[in-house]
Chains A and B, each alone.
Chain A
Amino acid sequence: MIPLKGQATGVDKAVDKAFSEAESIRGQILHGNIVQTDMEVTEAGEAGGVGGLGKIIWRVFAENKLALVSVGVVVFMLLFCFVGPHFYVTPQANYVVTNVNEVLAHPSGQHLLGTDPNGYDTVGRLMVGGATALEIALLAAGIATVFGVFFGAVSGYAGGAVDAIMMRIVDTILSVPTLFLLIVIAAILHPSFWLIVFIVALAAWLVPARLIRGETLTLRTREYVQAVRAMGGGGSRIVVRHIIPNAVGTIIVNATFQIADAIGVLAALGFLGFGVPPPGTSWGQMLSDGISYAQEGAWWLIYPAGVCIILITVSFNYIGDALRDAFEVRLQRR
């Protein structure tokens, strides 16, 4: 049975539904109470007449105290990793300089979290590793979102055979367990900074592509899109000027989750030995390098890096969740 052009088949619908459900687990994980969310939405919706859209979105977002704390954590981490190295200056804070007389030193006034087997200061390494991890995660999430959004929008708007082929490509890559695929590529091509950005993005663009395709399937039947078409607007104009801007909520929310995921994937890659080349490092690599020493009591080599990964991941998940609620208000008002 061949589906009509542009009509999602039953299977596709089921898969899309399962997909958005799976994505929303994250929301449910972070949200104790779904009913409560609905109430917030109605309240804000009523207040909607007063301010502009941006204000409403911000108000709903700000109501979520945990999300505000998360923003604080993210800002703190960014300052710690990117500004910190300019202020935290100990003999070994600069990661290029080591002191072989001071390897595996316990935490002390001079080295707040001790030193590692190479004599690097752990706090200094956390800053350097964090800066690398955040740079890669933000770049990869950005690239993946832009590519995924265009892929999904084109696929959903084109429909028919083009859509079927493009979605089978997504299905295929999705069915390969991510880490396996990424490590093969890393092993063949030897990791550098940009290769790792590319690899993490390669795993990340699939979900936005699927989500935006689903969104496009509903948006393309809207009156304003039909009006543009009637006025002679081309496909690329409709996709770029009308469909993508209207899916902006989904895009932003998903991009936030992509950052959290990218940090996780990057940490796993680094842990398995496919991180940035030395003397660079990332949090996952620090953990992997520290394990054998941690078993002899050097706890400062693994716990700080692990806690950093968890904190930043939880924060981005919370922010994404609060943004979802905030953008839902926008949809309600419409």
Chain B
Amino acid sequence: MIGYLIRRVIQAVIVVIGVCAITFILYHLFPGGANSEARIILGPRATQPQINQFLEQNGLNKPIWTQFIVLVGHVFTFNLGYSYKLNEPVSTIVLQKLPKTVLLLGFATLLTVIIAIPLGIFQVLRRNKPSDYALTTLSFIFYATPTFFLGIVLIQLFAIHWHFFPPEAPQSASVGQILSDWQGLVLPVFTLAAVYIAGFSRYMRSSMMEALTEDYVRTARAKGLSTRRVNYVHALRNALIPIITLLGLTLPAIVSGALITEDVFNYPGMGLAFFNAAINNDFPLLIGTVVVAAIATVVGSLLADILYAVLDPRIRYV
């Protein structure tokens, strides 16, 4: 177990170094090399001394291996460069925006789990009845709907047509104020969660069905336990474990979904900052955000794997 954890953490660190390599490649993707990169980042009116200073500051005139090692050092010390467009260090901007995105992701994940698990169980208990089929149809329609289209439709219906909720997410700077303006969070959270509610409830359904065919469930029934107890204590607890792995694997997709949701609802998180950076050609912020999103995802998957290993004592990693 301990050995597994250590190896899993080492693996995560290797992936983070890999993320650095991707970042490095992105920085060298600019057609025309470092000089034109400096010109793109500093703007067309930058003078040659300014460009030289930029190259010096960012170590872009050093040999390529030194540059890479410096970049890895920067990532591990959370030094993500400087946004010349916003005149702020990227890490400051990220620290400001990250809590809001985490809030959105947290609520969406929570909503997914809260709705999807009971839904999956309900479908197993009523399997092959009309309600099961209806939910199946519904879940696959939601599964195929692009996040942004769902967001637009929800805004059209619930904000513009019926005025139930505001069309825009809360704009406050602090997380506390965003929470107090919860009406504005309803549509974005549901938009982000819908695809995963569909996916997870199907997964839960099959996971529970599988658990019900296991030997220990038969044993529990043979002991004379009530159906309720067998279903909810014996089968459910085991059926829940794979959901955690699924959460870890879905995390990158949910983070991508947050980018779209934040854009549709104008929610001032990392996704929107990233989107604005892309439009304004603010490359340091753009690449810095990718690094943070990637590392957050790696950490999230790591936590999911560790939780999985802790919860399922049958798993023995060699």
Contacts and interface: CB of A to CB of B under 8 A. Distances in A.
Interface of A: 1, 9-11, 14, 18-19, 21-22, 25-26, 28-30, 32-35, 168-169, 171-181, 183-189, 260, 264, 267-268, 271-274, 284, 287-288, 291, 294-295, 302, 306, 309-310, 313-314, 317
B175 interface: no
Interface residues of B, number: 74
B209 A34 contact: yes
Q: Which 5 A-B pairs have the closest CB atoms?
A: A172-B18, A177-B255, A179-B256, A10-B317, A306-B149
A288 to B, nearest CB: 8
A187 B286 CA distance: 9
Nearest to A291: B152
Most chain B CB within a 10 A radius of its CB, from A10, A169, A183, A284? A183
B127 A172 contact: no
A275 to B, nearest CB: 13
Question: How would you classify the secondary structure of chain A's contact residues: helix, strand, loop or mixed?
Answer: helix
Contacts of B203: 21, 25, 28
Given A172-B18, A188-B29, A267-B146, A22 B246 contact: yes
Contact of B293 (A176, A187, A287): A176
Contact of B301 (A14, A175, A185): A175
A14 B249 CA distance: 12
Contacts of A30: 140
A179 B30 contact: no
B127 A33 contact: yes
Nearest to B259: A179
14 contacts: A11-B11, A14-B245, A14-B315, A21-B203, A29-B143, A34-B209, A35-B209, A172-B22, A180-B259, A184-B278, A295-B156, A310-B145, A314-B140, A317-B143
A27 B132 CA distance: 16
B26 A188 contact: yes
A309 to B, nearest CB: 6
Given A175-B252, A176-B252, A185-B29, 20 more contacts: A1-B7, A21-B246, A22-B250, A25-B203, A26-B143, A29-B136, A33-B127, A168-B14, A175-B19, A176-B294, A177-B256, A178-B253, A184-B26, A184-B290, A185-B26, A186-B278, A187-B283, A287-B152, A306-B145, A306-B149
B141 A314 contact: yes
A42 B7 CA distance: 42
Contact of A21 (B147, B198, B242, B289): B242
Contacts of A317: 140, 143-144
Contacts of B140: 29-30, 314, 317
B111 to A, nearest CB: 18
Contacts of A302: 149, 152
Interface in B260-318: 260, 263, 274-275, 278-279, 281, 283, 286-287, 289-290, 293-294, 297-298, 301, 315-318
B317 A189 contact: no
A187 B294 contact: no
B139 interface: yes
Interface string B3-30: 1100110010011001101100010011
Nearest to A313: B144
Contact of A177 (B26, B133, B294): B294
B33 to A, nearest CB: 13
